[in-house]
Chain A
Amino acid sequence: MSTPVTTLSTMIDAIAGVVGKENVTTDVETLKKYSRDTSLMAPRMPDMTVWVKNTSQVQGVIKIANQNNYPVVPRSSGTGTYGTGIPEEGGMILDFSRMKRIPRTDTRNRWVLIEPGVTFGELRDDLSKNGMQALNPLLPRRDKSVITSVLEREPVLTAKTECDEPLRTMEIVWGTGELFRSGAMAVDAMPAEEIPDKTKSDLCSVGGPGIDWWRLMTGCQGSFGVITIMNVKIFHKPLMQKVVFLPFNTLEDAVMPFYTIQRREIGHECFILNSYNLAAIMAETESEIPELARKLPPYSIVLNLWGGQFFPEDRIAYEEKAVKEIADQYKCSVTQEVKAIPEASERFQSMLTGPWEGDVYWKERQLGGCLDIVFESGMDKIPGYWNLFQQLAGECGLVTSTLGMYIQPRQRARVCHVEFNIPCDPNGAGIDTVKAFHKKASETVMNAGAFFYRPYYDWADMIYSRSGYTFETIKKLKKIIDPNRTLNPGRIGL
C-alpha cells in the first residue's frame, strides 16, 4: 500500500483488502459500543472497527494507517474500566478479540503462550488440563484479555516476589507496522510456538534485545506498540489449600499483622478488603450487599495458605501455626469462618483461580457502575490515604459506608497496589457529583504522596504535570517508536 488514501471509503477498502470485507464494519450501533468502555469517560466514535486474526494482518493494517496519518486504537476485549480504549482522536478500533490461540504451554518452565484475545476464563480452562494455574488479578471480568491485564501491570493475587512480573517475551508491531520481538523470542521470526523446538531458545529470557523492552512496553496503554503474542508465567496448582481470614476494626490495626505475614512469606494469595467490597463479592444477590456489609468486620485480610505439590498437609500446618502466632502477637484473630457468609473459605478458594462468574461485575453489582482510584503505596501509609478519602467523600455528600477498598501486596508487601472504589449509577442524577468527587479525591490523595503509576481517566495531565522530565522522556521515546502518532493518539498525554 503505497498510494495515499484520501477518503474514508478508500481507507475502508484498503483495510478490507488486508483483513477481508467481513472483518471491517462501519455499522453505527456497533461503533457506538466501541466508542466507550465502562469508565464513564466521554465516548468518541471511531470510523470503523477492524477484526484481525494474525500478525501479518496487524502489520498490514497498521502500515496503511501509518502511511496515512490515521489513528489506530488497539482493543483486546473492550472491558476497560479506565478509558484506555476510547478512540480519543477517532480513527479505527483494531479489535484483537478473535486472536484466541493458546498454542503452547510449557509446564517445566511454567509459561503459557497466548494471543491478545485470550481471556482469563479461557486461560483458566486451558491450563487446568495441565494442572497449572494462571496468575490472576482479583476476580477479573470473564472476558478480560490476559495480555491487556499484564501490559497494564494489574497486580496478581499471589504476593510471591517471583510472580510479580508475569511477562516473559512478546511479539510487537510498532506504529510503523514493523515487526519486533522481545527477549528470547527475538531469536527468530518463525511462529513463536515453534521456537522452543526449532531453536535453542525456551522463551524464558525476558530482557533485550538490547534494552528491556519487556518493561518499557508496559503501562503505555497501547501507544508504543501492539502485542500479537506473549508468553506469561504460570504456576502449579496446589494439591491442597486453605483460605483464612483475619478481621480488624480499623485499617491501622491490620498494618503490622499484614506486614508480618508477608515478611514471613506465609501463603500465596493475600489481600485486604473492606466490608463493602467483601460484601459485593460474597453477597448472593445485589440487594443483600448493604446489609451484609454491615454485618462484616470493617476490614479483613484474606490469606490463602498453600499446600503446594509436596506434603501439602505439613506445609499448611506450619503456615497455619505461623499465622496464629502472628494473630496472638498482635491480639487479633484468625479464622476460616466469616460471620454471615456461609462457607466463605471454600467459596474464596475457587474464586482465587478464575474470573468473576456473575452476570454483573462485582464492583458494579450495587449501582451499575464504579469509578476507581488506583495507586501504589507502602502499607504503612495507606490508612492515612483511606481516612483522607473517606473524609473528603463525607464532605462531598457521599455515603462512606458504600465505598470500597482493596489492598494487594506486591512482592511480599514491598509495595501495595491500592484501589478505592466508588460505586455509582452511570445514569443517575448524582453522577456529576461522583465524577467531581473522583477527580478531587484523586488529586488530594496524589498530593498526599500516593504514587499514581497508571495514568488512567484524565489523570495523565495531573500526573505528568508534576513529573518533571519523566514526561519529556516518554514523549521523546514515543517520537522515536511511533513517529506519526499512529497508535492510540492522545492516550497518556501522547
Chain B
Amino acid sequence: MAFSDIALRALKDVVGEEHVSDDPIICQAYSRVQWTADGCIQRSQLGTKMKPTCIVLPDSTEEVQAIVKLANRYKFVFIPRGSGMINSAFPNAAQVMRANGVIIVDPKRMDKILKVDGNNMYMVIEPYVNFAACQAEAMKVGCTMPSPPAGAQVSALANIQWHGAYGNSWLSGLGAHQLLSFEVVLPNGEILRSGSISQAGNDDWIWNDGPGPDLRGFFRGAQFGHAGGMGMVTKISTRLFPWPGPVVFPTQGNGVGKESYFPVDKVRWYMIDFPAAIKAYPEKEEEQLRWACDLHYEIARAELAIVVQHNAKQFMWTWAARSKEEFHKGANEDFYPHGYNIVALSAITSLEQLEYEEKVLKSIVKKMGGSFLSEESPDPKDRERYKVWMRITNDWIRTAHSMRLSRPTDCFHQGTACLDSIDAVADEIIRANRAQRKMREAGKGQNLLPISFHGGWISPLEKGYGALMTTDLWPEQEPEKAAEAIQFLLSSLVGMLGEKSAGATVCLLGPAYDLLGPQFFNVHLLVKAMKREFDPNNVSNPPYATMPDVVDPMQLAEMTKVL
C-alpha cells in the first residue's frame, strides 16, 4: 500500500492543513542529515529517496497519538524527531524499501517549558525546547542544567532520551540519569505516563522510579535510547542541579568573539598540566592518561568539583579556536601540545567551601607532581594557552561545544566510545589510538585528521563512579572518506569485543542487536519481543530500537553493507 491521499487528508484533519506539508522543497529540507559521517553515507546510498513523504507538526500529545494511530491504520512509518541532529531522525533504507510512506513528526510547535521547580530541582519540557533555553530558565531559580558537547542548540528532551553526555557529567552522569517522569505515545497509539505522573489526576512530575518496575529502563539504554523506535516522547521532567550564580550567564562580545567569565567567588576553573617527565606527546600519551586517571580518582575520593575531565588535545583547540582558519593554524603550530585536565570548582555551600576545595585540589596536584597553568605560568606559551582556554571554558556549562565539534572538516564521527571505570575507558583510548596509528602506518586512514590530534576525552560520571570516553575523527563529507571513519569505529568495536571490553555492551541499537545480541545472553530476542509487542505494525522508525524479528543474514548484510 503506497502512501495515499487518504492518509494525507487524515493527517491534515488531525493537525490542521497548515501544519502538514508534502511540498517537495520542504520535504527535501528534511532529508539532509547534518554533520555525521553516517549521514553522509546515508545520503550517498539513498540520494533523493531520503526525502520524507510529508512533514507533520503536531502541537499536543493528543495530536501525536492521533498521528500514530493513523500510521498503524495506513501502515506508514513515522519518525519522531527532536531538533534533527542525528541520522535516525531521517528516512533510511529500511523504511524506503517498505514503500508505504515515511512521515517526519516535527515537534517545532511543542516548544514549551511547562514547569520549572527550583525547590525540587526539576523542569518539565516538550520536545522542541533546547538546552540553552532550559539553562537560562534554570539559572533564574538558582539551578543549572547540564549541556551536551553536541551543543546547547539541540532538543533537550531528545538528547536526554537518546544519549546525553555533558560538559559537567562529573555531576550529572549521562542523559539516562537526567530523566525523571516521562510521557510517551507508544507505537501502538497508547499513551504511557511513567513515574509520579502515572497516577490519574496527579500532575506532579517530580519523580520516576515506579510505580513498581522502573520503566526508564525500558526506554533508555546504556549509551542510547530507542531512537524513536518505541514511539514518540512528548514530555519529560528532567533534573536540575544547584547553581551558586550568577543568575544570568555573563557574556561579552558577539559571535565567535564572545567570551564569558564567572565571578571568582562563584566558579573557578583550573587547567592542570602533567608532570614535566611525561609532557612529551604522543610519546608519553599512555603515562599522561594514567596520570589523568589517578588525578580523577583522587578528586573523587576528595568529593570535589562540578567539572572534571581530561580534554583530548583536539577538543582543546576545536573548542578554543574562533574560526576554521585559526583552528588549522593552531593545529599546525601545536598550540595545545597535548591534552589537559580541566576542573571547575564552585561555591555551592559557601566561599569557604570553594577555598577549601581549591586547597585540596592544589594539595592533590602538588603531591602528584602536576602543575596549574595560569596567567603567571613561567612559560609564556602556557600563559597564552591558559588565556585562550579561559575565555571559552565556561561554555562547558551552557553553550557547549556546538558545531565547533565539526569545525575541522564540517563532519564529525566518534572513533571509539566506551563507558566503564575511569581506568577502563583510558585503556580503550590507548587501544584505539594504537590501532589508529597502526592503520596509518599501513597506509590507511589518511583521510582522517592526523593521529597527533587524538588522546581521548575522559569524562568521569557521577563524581567518578563511572566514566565515558571518546576518540574522535573528522573525515570530509565524501562517502569513501566518511566510510573510512565508520570502518574505524567498527574496527574499534571488534577490538572491544575481542578484549571483552565493557564498551561493547553499550552500543546495541538497530542492526547491532542482531549482530551482537547472541554474544550478550541473547538480549536481542528479549528486546525484539518488546518491539513486537508494542509496535505490532513496525511503524515507529524501523529498524530502531531493533527489528521485531530476527533479521535474515542476507537482509542484515544489506542493512549493514556500508559497514
List chain A positions with a Cβ less than 8 A from chain B. Answer: 108-111, 153, 160-162, 178-181, 183-184, 186-189, 195, 198-221, 224, 233, 236, 259, 263-266, 306, 308-311, 314-315, 317-319, 321-322, 325, 376-381, 411-415, 446, 449, 451-455, 460, 463-464, 466-470, 472-474, 476-477, 479-481, 492
Contact = CB atoms under 8 A, between A and B. Distances in A.
A259 B119 CA distance: 7
Nearest to B529: A480
A207 B190 contact: no
Nearest to A188: B500
A218 B424 contact: no
A382 to B, nearest CB: 11
Contact of A264 (B303, B348, B524, B530): B348
A67 to B, nearest CB: 19
Nearest to B196: A451
B521 A264 contact: no
B139 to A, nearest CB: 14
Contacts of B212: 219-221, 454-455, 460, 463-464, 474, 492
Interface stretch (B94-102, B251-259, B351-359, B440-448): B351-359
B425 to A, nearest CB: 9
Interface stretch (B23-31, B203-211, B265-273, B386-394): B203-211
Given A210-B546, A455-B211, 14 more contacts: A186-B505, A201-B420, A202-B420, A207-B419, A209-B520, A209-B521, A212-B216, A216-B214, A221-B212, A233-B465, A451-B210, A454-B212, A473-B192, A477-B530
Contact of A215 (B217, B509, B526): B217
Given A199-B500, A265-B349, A204 B424 contact: yes
B502 A205 contact: yes
B302 A463 contact: no
- Which are the 8 A-B pairs with shortest beta-carbon distances? A207-B222, A216-B217, A215-B217, A453-B210, A208-B222, A199-B500, A202-B421, A184-B502
Contact of B213 (A218, A265, A449): A218
Contacts of A217: 213, 217
Main secondary structure, interface of B, reads: mixed
B559 to A, nearest CB: 17
A463 B195 CA distance: 12
A474 B506 CA distance: 24
Contact of A210 (B200, B221, B465): B221
Which of B210, B517, B520, B522: most chain A Cβ within 10 A? B210
B505 A468 contact: no
B120 interface: yes
B220 interface: yes
Contacts of A473: 186, 192, 194, 215, 218, 534
A264 B171 contact: no
A451 B204 contact: yes
B215 A470 contact: yes
28 contacts: A110-B465, A153-B214, A184-B502, A184-B505, A187-B500, A187-B504, A198-B500, A199-B501, A202-B420, A205-B419, A209-B520, A209-B523, A216-B213, A314-B356, A376-B206, A377-B204, A377-B206, A415-B206, A452-B211, A453-B196, A453-B210, A454-B210, A460-B212, A463-B211, A466-B201, A470-B211, A477-B218, A477-B530
B423 interface: yes
A162 to B, nearest CB: 4
Contacts of A317: 352
Contact of A183 (B194, B198, B222): B222
A111 to B, nearest CB: 8
Interface of B: 117, 119-122, 142, 171, 173, 176, 186, 190-196, 198-202, 204, 206-207, 209-223, 239, 241-242, 297, 300-303, 348-350, 352-353, 356, 359-360, 363-364, 419-424, 427-428, 462-467, 496, 499-506, 508-509, 513, 516-517, 520-524, 526-527, 529-530, 533-534, 545-546
A378 B217 contact: no
B97 to A, nearest CB: 24
Contacts of B191: 468-469
Nearest to B363: A310
Contacts of A212: 176, 216-218, 220-222
Nearest to A153: B209
A378 B500 contact: no
A238 to B, nearest CB: 10
Given A310-B302, A469-B191, A453 B211 contact: yes
Given A162-B462, A379-B119, A314 B359 contact: yes
B204 A378 contact: yes
B231 to A, nearest CB: 11
A210 B423 contact: no
A162 B216 CA distance: 18
Contacts of B176: 207, 212
B242 to A, nearest CB: 5
Nearest to B495: A200
A318 B349 contact: yes
B230 to A, nearest CB: 9
Nearest to A201: B502
Given A412-B242, A449-B204, A207 B223 contact: yes
Contacts of B546: 210
Contacts of B215: 216, 470, 473-474
Contacts of B218: 211-212, 216, 473, 477
A472 B303 CA distance: 42
Contact of A211 (B190, B209, B220): B220
A187 B198 contact: no
A321 B523 CA distance: 52
A187 B505 contact: yes
Contact of B242 (A195, A215, A264): A264
A221 B239 CA distance: 27
Contacts of A200: 420, 424, 427-428, 496, 499-503
Given A414-B121, A468-B200, A187 B221 contact: no
Contacts of B213: 216-220, 224, 474, 477
Contact of A414 (B122, B204, B533): B122
Contact of B350 (A111, A318, A452, A468): A318
Nearest to B466: A204
Nearest to B499: A200
Nearest to B230: A211
A217 B209 CA distance: 11
A414 B121 CA distance: 5
Contacts of A215: 209, 214, 216-217, 220
A380 B120 contact: yes
A219 B526 contact: no
Contacts of B202: 449, 451
A311 B303 CA distance: 12
B471 to A, nearest CB: 15
Which of A214, A449, A454: most chain B Cβ within 10 A? A449
A415 B196 CA distance: 11
Contacts of B348: 264-265
A266 B353 CA distance: 10
A410 B226 CA distance: 28
A318 B423 contact: no
B362 to A, nearest CB: 11
A453 B207 contact: yes
Which of A202, A451, A468: most chain B Cβ within 10 A? A451
Contacts of A321: 350, 352
A39 to B, nearest CB: 17
Given A205-B420, A310-B363, A411 B239 contact: yes
A272 B404 CA distance: 48
Contacts of A453: 196, 207, 209-211
B207 A210 contact: no
B530 A380 contact: no
Contact of A451 (B207, B352, B356, B502): B207
A40 B506 CA distance: 43
Nearest to B194: A470
A152 to B, nearest CB: 11
